[in-house]
Structure 1
Amino acid sequence: MFLHWPLALWLPPLPSGFSPGSRTSLLLVFALLCLPWLQEAGRVPSVPLSRLFDHAMIQAHRLHQLAFDTYQEFEEAYIPKEKKHSLMENPQASFCFADSIPTPSNLEETQQKSNLELLRISLLLIQSWLEPVQFLSSVFANNLLHHTSDSDVHDLLKDLEEGIETLMWRLEDGIPRTGHIFKQTYSKFDAHSQNDDSLLKNYGLLHCFRKDMDMVETFLRMVQCRTVEGSCGF
């Protein structure tokens, strides 16, 4: 497995006065000059583990914040307070496919998991959302805080998926790991419908998305704390 995460991670920050376009040019020059050698050598430069974790944590936090804000905004707009409790007791809204993954349910159980186990669970959670995010296209489009789309969210998920795979590869000392990829998908949702059934389904889906992204960020933070010196306590 080759490290093919964002090329920008290999380059130091630009000096002051350089524009983003200058960085793009540097990346292009780097790729043209170095990639033939990298292909011949059979590997790519080793990115510091701390930098890989920093990038993964940024993406995980963005996804968690997006999930939290979208859920809260949707709830305030469409779910009456007096109905919130009864709606979440409805199996259609409260069941998440992630419940079928053996995830730790509290801090003690989380601490008992190895770094690779926590990364593996995080990877499964991310992969389980690569398809379902399209069912929330209109919900994301109407988000007043983030102004994003389902394709933007999908790109964030794919980037984090790749990042977690890279971290697993590094922690395994480059030994490839095989295993079942979580391919469960949610039932299709009529995101454009305004009937109560559609609102309930979207509410449930957003609840699961928020819950899963919270777990991913928590698990990644714990692995980073264990692995990278000086990264705890934030």
Structure 2
Amino acid sequence: MGLSCLLLRGRWVRVGAAPICSDMQESCQVASLTDLFERVLQHSARLHSVSSDLHSDFEQYFLPSKNQIHRISHNCRTSAILAPDGKENAQRMPREELMGVILKLLVAWKDPLWYFHQSMAHHHDFNNYSSSKALEMTNMVHKLHTGVETVAEKMQVLGMISNFVNRLASPEALLPSDHTTWGLLENYDVLYCFRRDSNRVQNYLKILKCAFIPEEEC
């Protein structure tokens, strides 16, 4: 029995395997919007779980007391992105704009997470398990961004959204001025803020899925 394939970003790709199917094999089928949403939601849930684990590890091993944690004033690098707070506000936002916010957040975190991983690699107390999670989190952001782009392209093909979302998703530069000087509190800021944003992305994707696929249970 041949492996089924999906058309993703203009390529026929085997499900669950790296090789690419030859063009238009009979066993290949175009991925449904529901399938694509399910995959990005699973990926976003995993990403938020990893970010939460790292955030907890950091509090336990690097910050000396809960009192210090409460005194920290977080400086989130994505604060310039107008992301809606709460489910109701997100539901009221036009769907194309909400998709644009998701893409902006994912793009904005790519480089800061890489710098975070590099910074933490120099801390000997950061165990190998946590270090590998930091790298995994960095790679997952790239994969999730590609997946969300695929969902957006699918919706454009189906006429659900316009190409306007591509312009909405072009973020301003949000890199730190000098990542080589990051200290523990700056790294904690990264984890705190990314955990928040990864949760936002997951919730926004759920809202979009319910909006575009109303027959699904929401």
Give TM-score scaled by structure 2 length: 0.77
Q: Which runs of 5 or more residues in structure 1 are unaligned? A: 12-22, 39-43, 192-196
Would you say the 8 A contact 2:103–2:145 is kept in 1?
Answer: yes
Mapped partners of 2:214, 2:49: distance in 1: 26
From 110, 118, 125, give the equivalent of 2:90: 110
What pairs with 1:126-141 in structure 2 (closer than 5 Å)?
126-137=106-117, 139=120
Mapped partners of 2:206, 2:11: distance in 1: 19
Would you say the 8 A contact 2:9–2:150 is kept in 1?
Answer: yes
Q: Does 1:59 align with 2:43?
A: yes
What pairs with 1:1-234 in structure 2 (closer than 5 Å)?
3-4=9-10, 7-8=13-14, 11=15, 24=17, 28=19, 31=21, 34-35=22-23, 45-79=29-63, 80-87=65-72, 89=73, 94-137=74-117, 139=120, 142=127, 144=129, 147-150=132-135, 152-173=136-157, 176-177=163-164, 178-179=166-167, 181-182=170-171, 183-190=173-180, 198-233=183-218
Mapped partners of 1:65, 1:6: distance in 2: 30
Would you say the 8 A contact 1:132–1:186 is kept in 2?
Answer: yes
Mapped partners of 1:221, 1:84: distance in 2: 31
Mapped partners of 2:98, 2:87: distance in 1: 12
> Structure 1 133/6 Cα, relative in aligned 2: closer, same or farther at 3 Å?
farther
Mapped partners of 2:103, 2:211: distance in 1: 18
Would you say the 8 A contact 2:78–2:105 is kept in 1?
Answer: yes
Amino acid in structure 1 at the alignment position of 2:32: P
Aligned-residue sequence identity (percent) comes to: 21
**Residue-pair matches, total:** 197
> Structure 1 114/143 Cα, relative in aligned 2: closer, same or farther at 3 Å?
farther
Query: How big is the shift at 1:189?
Result: 3.6
Would you say the 8 A contact 2:83–2:101 is kept in 1?
Answer: yes
Show CA shifts across 1:167-203 (max 9, x none). 1122223654441621321244448xxxxx7111111
> Structure 1 70/219 Cα, relative in aligned 2: closer, same or farther at 3 Å?
same
Give TM-score scaled by structure 1 length: 0.72
**Match of 1:7, SS?**
strand
Instruction: Report the structure, 1 or 2, having the larger helix content.
Output: 1
Show CA shifts across 1:135-178 (max 9, x none). 2215487364684342x333311211111112112222365444
Find the structure with the greater CA-based Rg. Answer: 1
Mapped partners of 2:50, 2:214: distance in 1: 29
What is the RMSD computed on CA atoms of the aligned residues? Answer: 2.9
Would you say the 8 A contact 2:78–2:174 is kept in 1?
Answer: no
